[in-house]
Amino acid sequence: MKIITENKVYIQLSDVFNLNPIITTLNLRCPVSVTRKCFSDNIVIDGDNRDCFLEFDDREAISFFKKIDCIVDYCELCSKSEDELMEMIKKLHDEVKVMTNKYNNMSRNNQSKRYQSYQKEYYLKSYKAHSINSFLSYKRGEKELILPDDIETLKPKKEDKPKTFIKTITEII
């Protein structure tokens, strides 16, 4: 997950962990500041810190992370309801399913020609669906997410559950 502000971008460590395959898949040139911070500072990412964020404040890094669509944007997802998030996940899964069926119905010759592009699209769509699902767990309160200090005000509000009114037998009589 990424959080983009006017002059900073925060990247969740779970995305930093997956950054190398994402860069390779998208064939992007990684800015030096990102390479230094993510790959040279000997960051150890584990279950205890994978939801923490790494801060970047240079324009090149901000621009770089804005281009990576499969790393979901916290600010965009925050305004979505649970139903909208579920619909986004379903749409991505449906796209993968259609893409896979189309690929599987190709001749072996066409499959071998399109294998790399199929794998790239499959990876990016699946990764994004997984990230939205992780955000949904946070929004539902199933998972805790500690945001950077200056982002606290954007925390998503848990949706109110519809109230159920049950009349007792004595109220009916």
Mean pLDDT, range 134-147, rounded to an integer: 89
Question: Residue 52 is encoded by which pair of tokens?
Answer: 């923490």
Exposed / middle / buried, residue 156 (Cβ in 10 Å: 0-12, 13-18, 19+): buried
pLDDT at 89: 96
DSSP letter for 172, please: H
Mean pLDDT of the chain: 86
DSSP letter for 149, please: G
More confident residue, 173 or 22: 22
First to last CA, the chain: 55
Percentage of the chain modeled with pLDDT above 70? 87
pLDDT at 156: 54
Per-residue pLDDT at 45 exceeds 90 = no
How many angstroms separate the CA atoms of 30 and 65, rounded?
A: 10
Mean pLDDT, range 21-38, rounded to an integer: 92
What would the DSSP string read from start to end of 62-121? HHHHHT-TTS-BHHHHHTS-HHHHHHHHHHHHHHHHHHHHHHHTS-HHHHHHHHHHHHHH
Segment 78-126, tens digit of pLDDT: 989 999 999 999 999 999 999 999 999 999 999 999 999 999 999 999 9
pLDDT bin (cut points 50, 70, 90) of residue 134 is very high
pLDDT at 159: 52
Task: Give the start-to-end residue ranges of the domains of the chain.
Answer: 2-154
